[in-house]
Amino acid sequence: MSNSEILVKAENVSKKFCRSLKKSLWYGMKDIGAELVGQNRQRKLRTEEFWAVTNVSFELSRGECIGLIGRNGAGKSTLLKMLNGLIKPDKGRITVRGRVGALIELGAGFNPILTGRENIYINAAVLGIRKQEVDKKLDPIIEFAEIGDFINTPVQYYSSGMRVRLGFAVAAQLEPDVLFIDEVLAVGDLGFKIKCLNAVNELMRNSAVIFVSHSMQFISWLCTKVMVLNAGKVEFSGNDVPAGIDYYYTRFERPDQTVSGSDKAVISDVQVFSGQRRASAGEMLLLNYGDDLSIQMGLSLDSLVSQPAIRIVIWDQELRPVVDCFSPFSGFEINPKSSSRIKLHLINLQLNMGVYSIAIVVVDLSNNCGEVLSRIDHAAHFQVKTTYTSWAPVLLRGEWKAEEC
């Protein structure tokens, strides 16, 4: 395949939306009217309108995959809808070549009353797969979806996982030149996730892919290009995927600190250190793989607390806990009578690339249920950089050996 095989081309594409429902419907009427008399779309903003996507340009060839990242409402899905031809751009021009496939809405057209088998045909027809093709692939679809004997059961008795798996299995039969994927990867349980990813990888090999996801692991794993959108504008675009992800992480994804609990403990002045570098709440500490990390905080306890303990949890970007430090597990006891400054030192942190957030929970173990005295989520953030990126939250060097035999 040659590089000049450009399948998707977006040139200065913009799209506006309207905030108010009443106005939006009325503009809809007017737009239909304008379309009918052959007038082109209004390029200026009307009252209550805003640009949901502004000036997006990119080119995509076969074999390439562009990742669209950005917070909710950044314009990713709107852009995808324009590329997919569902809505028209208000400015610019989009050119798409070849057969288009979309993994956007799994199981579109499913009717709950009908059986899985019937719904396979319906869903396939919606996606533009012909009946003969489905006939040939029916068994692989059923097998892929792991539906088994349930194939003749109405879909309404399926678990939600089964329904999504069936939808994915049908969509995976597409043989597109251009493929749109919006957050539908990795549905179902772990075993199925891996199957999904392999299937997508297979699909991607021979097509130009536009991929919307909040999972930076998927992005870094699948994409050859990345585009960061913020409020409809392209803030980063390029072939350096890790740099794009970095850009996104450092600027946008930082949830605010939240405090909860019974207030019998007060955590104050949380700081994170690594060597000479330090960051307090709201700032980002930069680490390299294998650096040390210290967490410090002030703690004052109510006099009623008799057996306090601290748990520090490190969450990754997808809010999965990846590290858990519990003071009793380390045999560390906290004096309930005094306020103190607590420090936790972690040596040689072996976390993978990404932004992590620290949650601090103070509990009282004296009553059975372990009352939560105070809990701070997103108390501090740090970002780890590595030279190698992969799926797993933890990277270990280990010791490698080869024995002759």
Partner 1 sequence: MVSSKFDSLKEVVYTPESQLRHPRQFVQSMWQDLLASRELAWRLMVRDISAQYRQSFLGVFWAFLPPLATALVFVILNSRKVINIGETDIPYPAFVMFGTVLWQIFVDSLNAPLKSVTASKSMLAKINFPKEAIILSGMGQALFNLVIKLLILIVVFLIYKLPLGWGTALSLLAILDLVLLGMMFGLLITPIGVLYSDIAMGLTVVTGLWFFVTPVVYPPPTTFPFSLLAILNPVSPILVGARDLATQGVLENPIPFFVVTSIMLVVLVLTWVVYRLAVPILVEKMSA
Q: Which residues bind partner 1 (CB under 8 A)?
A: 1-2, 4-5, 7, 17-18, 24-25, 28-29, 31-32, 34-41, 43, 52, 81-82, 84-100, 102, 104-105, 108-109, 111, 113-114, 118, 121-122, 125-128, 130-131, 177
The answer to whether 295 touches 312, Cβ cutoff 8 Å, is: yes
Cβ distance to partner 1 smaller for residue 103 or 373: 103
CB 39 within 8 A of CB 3: no
Q: What is the closest distance, in whole angstroms, from the C-beta atom of residue 66 to partner 1 in the complex?
A: 17
Please report how close the Cβ of residue 81 comes to partner 1 at its closest, in angstroms: 7
Q: How far is the CB of 60 from partner 1 (least distance, A)?
A: 14
Q: How far apart are CA 403 and CA 405, in angstroms?
A: 6
Tokens standing for 325?
Answer: 């430090």
Q: Which is nearer to partner 1, 23 or 254 (CB)?
A: 23
3-class SS letters over 12-32:
EEEEEEECCHHHHHHHHHHHH
Provide, rounded to whole angstroms, the least separation between the CB of residue 142 and partner 1: 18
The nearest distance, CB 143 to partner 1, in angstroms, is 23
* CB-nearer residue toward partner 1: 107 or 354: 107
CB of 15 to partner 1, least distance (A): 8
Secondary structure letter of residue 113 according to DSSP = T
- Residue with token string 């650096």: 291
The CA distances from residue 100 to 75, 180, 275, in Å, are 21, 8, 52
Distance of alpha carbon 57 from alpha carbon 43, whole angstroms: 18
125: left (phi over 0), alpha (psi -120 to 50) or beta: alpha
Question: Nearer to partner 1 by C-beta: 128 or 255?
Answer: 128
Closest to partner 1 by CB, 135 vs 189, is: 135
Nearest approach in angstroms of CB 206 to partner 1 is 11
Minimum Å distance from CB 229 to partner 1? 17
- 3-class state of residue 134 by DSSP: helix
Query: Rounded to whole angstroms, how far apart are CA atoms 27 and 4?
Result: 40
> Could you write out the DSSP letters of every residue in 165-232?
HHHHHHHTT---SEEEEES-SS-SSHHHHHHHHHHHHHHHHTSEEEEE-S-HHHHHHH-SEEEEEETT
Residue closer to partner 1, measured from CB, 35 or 269 = 35
Q: Using an 8 Å Cβ cutoff, are 142 and 151 in contact?
A: yes
> What is the nearest approach in angstroms of partner 1 to the Cβ of residue 162?
19
Instruction: Kindly state the helix (H) or strand (E) to which residue 310 belongs, with its residue range.
Output: strand 308-315
- Identity of the residue, 7 or 60, whose beta carbon is nearer to partner 1 in the bound complex: 7
Cβ proximity to partner 1: between 43 and 397 the closer is 43
DSSP code per residue over 236-305: EEES-HHHHHHHHHHHT--PPPEEES-SSEEEEEEEEEETTEEEETTSEEEEETT--EEEEEEEEE-TT-
Between 28 and 275, whose beta carbon lies closer to partner 1? 28
In the complex, minimum distance from the CB of residue 16 to partner 1, in angstroms, rounded to a whole number: 10
In this complex, which beta carbon is closest to partner 1, that of residue 102 or of residue 353?
A: 102
- Nearest by Cα to 290 from 202, 209, 205, 351: 351
